[in-house]
Amino acid sequence: MLTEISKLDDNLFGPLEAAIEASGFWLEDNHPDDIDVNSVDGNWVQQTPASEHLGQAIQEFFDEIGFPVSIVVNSLDPVENPNAVIGKDHPVYPNGIVISGYAAVSNRGRFVLNLSLGLFGDTFDIGDIDPVSVAAKAGRLARHELVHTRQLEKRRLNQKISRKSAAKKYTEEGETPGTEDRKKYLSAKIEVDAYAHEIAEELLSKLGPNDALDMLRGYIDPGPLDFSDQIKEYFIDFAEEPFTRRLKKKVYAYIMDLVNRGIY
């Protein structure tokens, strides 16, 4: 293989999307006035009925396949995050309502997958939602974070340490910077790996294998195409950086792996 990648099991692809789509969480109340505070696996989080419903559906999926992870879906605070309220003029409208996520390790050493759900503004029309696209976007985001859990688990096993210690070591090495400094964040080795997985999936989903590889070779301009901000950051804003060259090698490896396994 061209470069080392973090493989995820087949059931973390289509079956995960199917569970998200089947939940129909976007049909539940999801406006700023619908936010309440709930306890999820010992964590107090802000949730609307929509985010609560999504969290329960994903948790049930992971419990059924025996994947040890706690799912926490929170509703973004519209006061602290004005962009959390999504209307027709919002860049993620209508299908990018699962906005962000991060992986963590609980005090008990259990993996925690945190996902953040945007809120519906006055102009949001749920009739515009494409359930397949909502599930695909949320699935790619979740798998990005699951790659991080694979990275932690591999380090735990190799160094014979706890998951908490593995996470602490990554932080001490500067591998978990905040997202404010985009160059520093996107160049972190663990993010290059996770974004390479996410980007490979997006390219395969939107372009198919042949055009996805052509874009890696520079034959297709990503600028005018409907791609995520991360693709445009790596392929346009930081196109000449060494970390983008590393990312492209990993994207190629992920594309070949996903195609060979029949996932895409």
SS3 of residue 174 by DSSP: coil
pLDDT at 3: 57
- Residue-level pLDDT at 2: 41
What integer pLDDT is reported at residue 52 of this predicted model? 97
Helix H or strand E segment including 103: strand 98-105
8 Å CB contact between 201 and 188: no
DSSP letter for each residue of 19-75: HHHHHTGGGS--SGGG-EEEEETTEEEEE-HHHHHHHHHHHHHHHHHT--EEEEEEE
Domain boundaries, the chain: 7-149, 177-264
Collect all residues with Cβ–Cβ distance below 8 Å to 55 and sequence separation of at least 6: 40, 47, 71, 72, 73, 115
The rounded distance, in Å, linking the Cα atoms of 151 and 30 is 34
How distant is the alpha carbon of residue 66 from its chain centre?
A: 20
Residue 165 main-chain phi, psi, to 5 deg: -70, -35
Q: For strands 119-120 and 85-86, give the pairing.
A: parallel
Give the Cα separation of 17 and 177 in Å (integer): 29
pLDDT tens by residue, the chain, 264 residues = 345 789 999 999 999 999 999 999 999 999 999 999 999 988 899 999 999 999 999 999 999 999 999 999 999 999 999 899 999 999 999 999 999 999 999 988 899 999 999 999 999 999 999 999 999 999 999 999 999 999 999 999 999 999 999 999 999 998 998 899 999 999 999 999 999 999 999 999 999 999 999 999 999 999 999 999 999 999 999 999 999 999 999 999 999 999 999 999
Cβ of 212: how many Cβ atoms within 10 Å? 24
Cα–Cα distances in angstroms (integers) from residue 154 to residues 112, 158, 159, in the given order:
16, 6, 9
Would you say 76 and 118 are in contact if contact means Cβ atoms under 8 Å apart? Answer: yes
